[in-house]
Each structure stands twice: as structure tokens, then as C-alpha cells.
Amino acid sequence: MSTYSKLSDYELTTLLKDGDRMAFTEIYDRYFWQLHAHAYKWMRNREETKDIIHELFLALWEKRETLSFEPSLLSYLSAAVRNRIFNLLSHKRIESAYLTTLETFSNEDNCVTDHLVREKQMTALIENEIAGMPGKMREVFQLSRKENLSHKAIAGQLNISELTVRKHVQHALKILRFKIGIYLILSLLIGI
């Protein structure tokens, strides 16, 4: 048992603000499963739940110097998880409505040809962006998305950690979202 496990939340947050990694690790160990259980009740998806919790702890570390943990650390973490869940669920609702609208639009006979042309352009854009990714990121992304391997399977195959796999996939998706977003905006504005 480490000496950090005997510290109060207040003492841990004080050390955390000073950049103490062991304090961060103790906070993570102390609250991960409690937060995971709370998030899983809403999400009912293990991968999404883990992502939410890991992103929360990443933000906790990155913003540690400016955060206020009043009235308590657990209250702060619980509220942060709840907010992340609500944001994700809201985003999913918007995404679902957008896809439904897009599906309705694409089912109209007069846009079938245009849809096929745009689909080919989008596929070419995506393939081009994937080809331009750094080697390891591209390899991880292709194993994840094209061969449908789990993060654990990819980590075992490439002899890297699951966290590294997750980071590569997240970064690749961020790159693709940005590039595709620009393409979609331009296509709407100038009718590419």
C-alpha cells in the first residue's frame, strides 16, 4: 500500500495541482471503477464508457492547475462524467437526425447519380488522407477500421499498448473529421 492511498482527496488534489504523477495515479485508482460504473449505466457500451473515463482523466491531468474541486473531488469527477455523457448522447442524437435526413435525401431518384459521384469522391478523399498518415497510425487505423480488429488484438499484433492503439485511432479519426468537414463545407458552398 502506497503512502498516497492514505492521503485525503484534498491532499491529493493539492499534490495534483503541483504536477505530482503519483497523486494523479492514486486519484485514478481510487475513482476509476466508481466512475466507470456510473457512466456504464447510461452508455451501456464498455468501449464508449472507457473512452469517456479516460478522456476525463486526461483532461484532469492537462487542466490540473486551473481546476477547482469544490465541494469535493468525487463531486467534481461525477459532474464531469455526467456532462461528458450528456454531450455524447446529444451529439449522437444530432448525428442520428442528420443521417436520417441524409438518407431521406439520398433516396430521392433525382440525386442517385450525384450521390454515387460524391460517394466516389469522398472515398477517394478518405483513402488519400489515410495514405498520408504517419506509418504506425495508418497501420493501426487500417487494422481497426478495415479489418475490424479490436484495440486489444491490434496491440497484440503490433506489440504496442492498447492506449497507444486508442490514441492512434482517435488522432486518425480527428484528422479525417477535419479534412472531410472542410470538403463537405466546400462542396456545399461551391457545389463541388
Mean pLDDT of the chain: 84
How confident is the model at residue 127, as a pLDDT? 84
More confident site: 85 or 103: 85
**Which residue, 55, 88, 121, sits at the end of a domain?**
88
Q: Could you tell me if 58 and 15 lie in one domain?
A: yes
Under the banding of pLDDT at 50, 70 and 90, the label for residue 111 is low
Under the banding of pLDDT at 50, 70 and 90, the label for residue 108 is low
Mean of pLDDT values over 174-189? 73
20-29, 72-81, 102-111, 142-151: lowest mean pLDDT where?
A: 102-111
pTM for the model stands at: 0.51
Q: Does 10 score more than 60 pLDDT?
A: yes
Q: Could you tell me if 51 and 114 lie in one domain?
A: no
Buried b (16+ CB within 10 A) or exposed e, 3-30: ebeebebeebbebbeeeeeebbebbbeb
Buried b (16+ CB within 10 A) or exposed e, 59-83: ebeeebeebebeeebeebbbebbee
How confident is the model at residue 91, as a pLDDT? 79
Domain count, the chain: 2
Q: Single out the residue of 112, 92, 91, 93 nearest to residue 103, CA to CA.
A: 112
The rounded radius of gyration (Å) of the Cα atoms in the chain is 21
Q: Could you tell me if 124 and 77 lie in one domain?
A: no
What percent of the chain clears pLDDT 90, i.e. is strictly above it? 37
How confident is the model at residue 92, as a pLDDT? 77
CATH code of the domain in which 73 resides: 1.10.1740.10
Asked if residue 176 is part of any domain, the answer here is: yes
Q: Whole-angstrom Cα distance, residue 112 to residue 105?
A: 10
Q: Does 122 score more than 80 pLDDT?
A: no
What is the domain range of residue 122? 110-190
Q: Could you tell me if 64 and 130 lie in one domain?
A: no
Distances in Å between the Cα of 146 and the Cα atoms of 107, 139, 140, 155, 167 are 26, 10, 10, 16, 17
Q: Single out the residue of 152, 149, 174 nearest to residue 161, CA to CA.
A: 152
Q: Whole-angstrom Cα distance, residue 136 to residue 134?
A: 6
Under the banding of pLDDT at 50, 70 and 90, the label for residue 19 is very high
Q: Does 7 score more than 80 pLDDT?
A: yes
> CB count, 10 Å around CB of 137?
16
More confident site: 15 or 125: 15
CATH code of the domain in which 163 resides: 1.10.10.10
Q: Does 189 score more than 80 pLDDT?
A: no
Asked if residue 142 is part of any domain, the answer here is: yes
Q: Tens of pLDDT along 129-152?
A: 888 888 888 898 888 888 888 889
